[in-house]
Chains A and B, each alone.
Chain A
Amino acid sequence: MTTMTVAPRFPLYRKEAKYEFLRLLRARTFTLATIGFPVMFYLLFGVVNSRGHEVLSASKYLMATYAIFGLVGCSLFGISVTLSNERNLGWLEVKQASPMPAPAYLLAKLLTAFAFATIIFGLLLTLGLTLGHVTITGTEIRNLALTILGGVLPFASMGLMLAMVVPPQAAPGILNLIYLPMSFCSGLWMPVSVLPHWLQTAAPIWPTYHLSQIALGGIGFEMRGTLAGHIAALAGFTVLMLGLAIVLFRRNATAS
């Protein structure tokens, strides 16, 4: 009691985040899927479709939407699959029995999602500027970067909520069943305007739709709906997901 009774906070939080990032970076199935897919899709559909130096090219559109596709992937999978495994297979208990503060654990997962989203955005931007002949201003890059980073929050919350319900073995499969259709239906793979009419009408139910509209609006494309409306939708979605996550966490805690 005379000296420190708890460990210094900063190194603890830093190490928790560093090692969460490192362990996912080294997990090949994770990096291949979350970084590899958006990059591969972008090369196949974005770069190949780039024609000349149009200002509003398909390669510019897809650079933004595949960056969102990527951030949603790394937020959902990086949080849900790891947390679901750790909760159900004992590792979380080891950490809970240790003096590790719970916020350090959650913050580490959030920061890791930020890091992967940044990596994916950096790669797509590089490919877009070089192979994709994308014309983009400094302000537009800043807008897009802010949208990508801000967009991690709603999907990290969604990942947290899903981790409370999906069993560890089935987690990747269930997440893909949500992730892939949601990406398609909200216009991340091709513009909403070329989707069937009923899908266009239903698009606003997808959080990815709102995020992609903000991103596209920020880089010179015409935005469907209003910026305030999209931000409100994403904020509401985040609150809903966090609320559900807390309710489910408590329900699980009393059930066990």
Chain B
Amino acid sequence: MVTVEEKSAASIPAAVDVAYLHGATKSYGAHRALDEVSLTLRAGEVVALLGPNGAGKTTAIKLLLGLLGPDAGEARVFGGNPRDAATRTRIGAMLQVARVPETLKVREYLDLFRSYYPTPLPVEHIVRVAGLAGIEDRLFSQLSGGQKQRLLFALAICGDPDLVFLDEPTLGMDIESRHGLWQQVRDLAARGKTVLLTTHYLEEADSLANRIVVINKGTVIAEGTPAQIKSRVSGRTIKCVTSLDEDLLRRLPGVTSIEVKHGTTVVRCGEVEDAVRQMLALDTGLHSLEISSPALEDAFLALTKGE
């Protein structure tokens, strides 16, 4: 085994950088959207850029796509300027679009975008992969929110690009579409493609990414594998209506904070199962129980507080 590994390590060069931001700064007027952000994408990697709205995720993607120029620092893709036509044929992008021309059919959009690339994927392949079978002859205006997103995904991959940018790809998708898209991202990675996706769902980043870059207010605040990131954002939230008082709750195992709002008690806790078991035993009248993983905003609090 050792020899095999050594051999492959020798024959395959160390993971190649396909794109990077180096010290990239970008301001909109007085608002600094990105502040000296450095970010590297290596070949075959799925990287999740995770952050709340307004964190600078979309700006980072736009710099890498050459849609915006950095005020300072550098954006490089395949060793070149992302604005070069030859570079762009190796890139696909799914961006957040408020409005798409509505009177073209799915099939026509595919035909159009395939014509932009030298070696596009076959239409049947794109239709199957993006889950567009049966709706090829529908106008864009007749698609559901999830179908629109899937078409935008299809346009991103139709040129068989080596590097795919997905900006909030699952926004507005139902669970089935979302999981379908996750599978497509995994398939892209399996075919050696590099993917950068932005999301504000911790779960999405966790499920897809080899590496997560957490970004907030224009700076990178954490970076690592999903396991490394999650270890810094432990704890879940218990929400319920209970007569138990705060002092008692505070003594339950793993409880980190308690908040009572409009009669609802919110408990943040490391060992949710144990705490809930005890709470139910202590208060038989407890009701409206909900348990949730930390919202990203909470995760940020945890991440920024830890530093």
Partner-contacting stretch, out of A43-51, A89-97, A153-161, A233-241: A89-97
Q: Is A99 an interface residue (CB 8 A)?
A: yes
**Contacting pair A98 B101 (CB below 8 A):** no
**Contacting pair A97 B85 (CB below 8 A):** no
| Cβ 8 A contact of A7, one of B92, B101, B104, B118 | B118
- Tell me the smallest distance from the CB of B237 to a CB of chain A, in Å: 34
**Nearest-CB residue, chain B, relative to A12:** B115
Known contacts A4-B119, A5-B86, A99-B116, then 17 further A-B pairs from the complex at CB < 8 Å, ordered by chain A residue: A5-B85, A6-B85, A7-B89, A16-B112, A19-B111, A24-B103, A26-B104, A86-B101, A90-B97, A90-B98, A93-B97, A94-B152, A97-B66, A98-B113, A99-B88, A99-B159, A256-B68
For chain A, the bracket of interface size reads 20 to 34
For chain B, the bracket of interface size reads 35 or more
**Contacting pair B115 A15 (CB below 8 A):** yes
Q: Is A23 an interface residue (CB 8 A)?
A: yes
- Tell me the smallest distance from the CB of A243 to a CB of chain B, in Å: 23
Q: Is A135 an interface residue (CB 8 A)?
A: no
Q: Which 8 pairs, one residue from A and one from B, show the smallest C-beta to C-beta distance?
A: A90-B97, A26-B103, A89-B99, A89-B98, A4-B118, A99-B88, A97-B93, A5-B86
Q: Is A22 an interface residue (CB 8 A)?
A: yes
- A4: chain B residues at CB < 8 Å are 118-119
Pairs across A and B, CB under 8 Å, 20 listed: A5-B118, A6-B118, A7-B116, A15-B115, A16-B112, A16-B115, A19-B104, A23-B101, A23-B102, A91-B100, A94-B93, A96-B67, A97-B88, A97-B165, A98-B92, A98-B116, A98-B159, A99-B85, A99-B89, A168-B99
Chain B contact residues, CB within 8 Å of chain A: 28, 62, 65-68, 85-86, 88-89, 91-93, 95-104, 108, 111-113, 115-119, 139, 152, 155, 159, 165
Q: How far is the CA of A94 from the CA of B148 in the complex (A)?
A: 14
- B85: chain A residues at CB < 8 Å are 5-6, 99, 101
Q: How far is the CA of A94 from the CA of B103 in the complex (A)?
A: 17
